[in-house]
Amino acid sequence: MEAAPLRNQFVGKDLHVDCASPTRTEDCEDAPATPSSSIADMIVCSVCMDDIDSDLVAARICGPDCPAQLCVECVVRFLDIHATNALHGVLTKLSCPICIMPVGVPRFRALLKPWIDPCPTVDVVSSQLSDIPANDGAVSTEEASDAHAATGESTCASNEVVPAPPLVPEVHTTSMRNSLDTYESKVRGACEMKCPSCHTNHCQLPPPNPTAELALSAEWSTALLTARSHLEAFAAHTMSATDLVAFVDATFGDAKADVFEHLLQRLEDVERQGTLFLRLARRQPFLRTRCCNAAVCFNCQVSGHHAGQPCATGALGSVHGIADCPTCGVQLVKGDGCDSVNCFCGAAFGWTTNLHNSKMRRLIAPHMAAFCRLAGRFRRARTMRRFRSAVLTSLVATVSQSRVAWAAATLAAHPETTVALRTVVARAAQVARLRIVVEDELPAAAHKMTMTWFWRLYWEAHPEEKAALEEEAQSLFCMDL
């Protein structure tokens, strides 16, 4: 089963614009509205509040429920400001100017495609001409002219297709293309490093391929489809990179490296690609450049894999008051204001807590090997304690039960042995009872009998003492109180 291309998750659905009929858009009930979806009334721009033609409005920017309606000039200014303010090497998100919801670059390109590339192709014109009934195997000049007029184009003597004038001025379309290209270039800078072999900066992101496939064994086919569905949620900004990485780690085992490369290829949005790449590079910085296949450490930005040694923190590592963004890893300095900080990538966090965590990571990094050895000893001690408390305490009962079960099975297989054993056990029980009587009850009875006969014989031998005691007792009872 082949998953649908990831591009559909950015755009909502594949956008089919019929340039021959500017008012019709196929299968776009919940797709982003485009300038080709026109109505007769004028529309008010959500930013500048000017009345504009509905053919020059960009709507449903972040989704089918988005209330945004922007004119061409506002879209141009919006993209230009985002591209200008984006910092090179920082994963800055594009967002809807009205809903402030993140929007991917592929969705923006699909949204603005009828403005940037409004001309129909030759195949569209050919399909329009093929619908006209033939007249003795030929098409008349009037019919051809009507067909080209329906598509917004004209013909010449050489049968070349001449596109109709564009809806948007060329200066605006060029500005939109340049703004999106500039933004993508700055975002890719977060994943660039200088190759130690060719000494040029190259982006370490793979070329996007939303239809890329991965050859895995049959047992991973269902898990791979689930991973792609999680990737679609990540591309739509409804799932974090940490959750996606945790799912792949827990599911694919030794094949997770190939799965991560496959998921990176299927992402079209460069910001989503960079976010997932930096999340993976944070825990495994040892890479190979895509240009020369040279071994590098992405964190240290140096050649070679220094296995067993911590990464260098750089010149800013020893400066106080510098914290790393927990999402993109860029180093930040706080000036003034409250404790809540928003990074350029859109992540929000508490400055005091994150600063403390950054300092602790820098302090622990040089001693990580010793810390791992100490933690290993504590884990072994904890395992032994659990073994003693859970296993050894129940070992005696388990062994006794196993012996009883073995004896019962043996006796059931030999009935004559059962009869003989019953006789021996009965005799042993009688001997045990007799021993209890002789050793415990008989001495007590003998002592009691001895004391009884002793006093009886004593009083018979000394009657005067017995009479004196009786007289004394009688005088005590008769005393006048």
How far apart are the two ends of the chain, measured CA to CA in Å?
114
Give the pLDDT of residue 118.
58
Question: For residue 212, what are the CA distances in angstroms to 4, 6, 20, 237, 239?
Answer: 11, 10, 33, 21, 21
pLDDT > 70? residue 23: no
**How confident is the model over 406-424, as a mean pLDDT?**
86
pLDDT in tens, 307-325: 767 666 444 444 567 777 7
pLDDT band at 139 (very low <50, low <70, confident <90, very high): very low
Q: What band does 28 get if pLDDT is binned at 50, 70 and 90?
A: very low
Give me the numbers of helices (H) and strands (E) for the chain, helices first please. 16, 17
Give the pLDDT confidence score for residue 16 in this predicted structure: 38
Judged by DSSP in three states, 337 sits in coil
Cα(395)–Cα(260) distance, rounded to whole angstroms? 46
Question: What percentage of the chain reaches a pLDDT higher than 90?
Answer: 15
Q: What digits encode the pLDDT tens for the residues 335-350?
A: 777 888 887 667 788 8
427 to 180, 422, 423, 430: CA distances (angstroms): 100, 9, 6, 5
Q: Is the pLDDT at 473 greater than 70, yes or no?
A: yes
Spatial contact of 363 and 354, defined as CB atoms under 8 Å apart: no
- Please name every residue paired with 233 in a beta bridge, in sequence order, or none if there are none: none
Confidence of residue 370 (pLDDT cuts 50, 70, 90): confident
Token pair belonging to 2: 């082949």
Q: How confident is the model at residue 481 (pLDDT cuts 50, 70, 90)?
A: low
Give the up-direction half-sphere exposure of residue 185: CA atoms within 13 A in the CB hemisphere: 10
Looking at residue 63, its pLDDT comes to 86
Which of 34-38, 285-289, 421-425 is predicted with the least confidence, judged by mean pLDDT? Answer: 34-38
pLDDT band per the 50, 70, 90 thresholds, residue 26: very low
The token pair that represents 24 in the structure block: 């019709």
What's the whole-number mean pLDDT along residues 351-380? 82
User: E strands along 95-167, which residues?
Assistant: 154-155, 161-162
Q: What is the pLDDT of residues 54-94, one digit of tens each?
A: 878 888 888 888 999 999 899 999 999 989 988 888 888 88
Q: Which residues of 388-406 are buried (b: 16+ CB within 10 A; e: fewer)?
A: eeeeeeeeeeeeeeeeeee
The Cα–Cα gap between 272 and 267 comes to 7
Question: Which backbone phi and psi does 401 adopt, to 5 degrees?
Answer: -60, -40
Distance of CA 136 to the CA centre of its chain: 65
- pTM, two decimal places: 0.57
Specify the DSSP class assigned to residue 21. S
Residues 162-173 as b or e (16 or more Cβ within 10 Å = b): eeeeebbeeebb
Give yes or no for a contact between 124 and 151, defined as CB atoms under 8 angstroms apart.
yes
User: Higher pLDDT residue, 55 or 128?
Assistant: 55
Please tell me which of 148-152, 274-278, 393-397, 417-421 the model is most confident about, judged by mean pLDDT. 274-278
* pLDDT score, position 343: 78
Instruction: Say if residue 157's pLDDT is above 50.
Output: no
Give every CB contact of residue 73 below 8 A, 6+ residues apart in sequence: 48, 172
Give the distance from CA 355 to its chain's centroid.
Answer: 24
List pLDDT tens digits, range 182-237: 999 999 888 888 888 898 888 889 999 988 888 888 888 889 999 999 999 999 98
- Residue 480 has a pLDDT of 61
Question: Among residues 25, 97, 93, 33, which one has the least CA distance to residue 63?
Answer: 33
Mean pLDDT (the chain) is 77
Both structure tokens of 84: 């200008």
Q: What is the largest CA-CA distance in the chain?
A: 166
Q: What is the three-class DSSP state of 13?
A: coil
User: Among candidates 223, 422, 325, which has minimal Cα distance to 231?
Assistant: 223
pLDDT over 60 (residue 149)? no
Report the candidate in 259, 251, 267, 273 with the shortest Cα–Cα distance to residue 214: 259
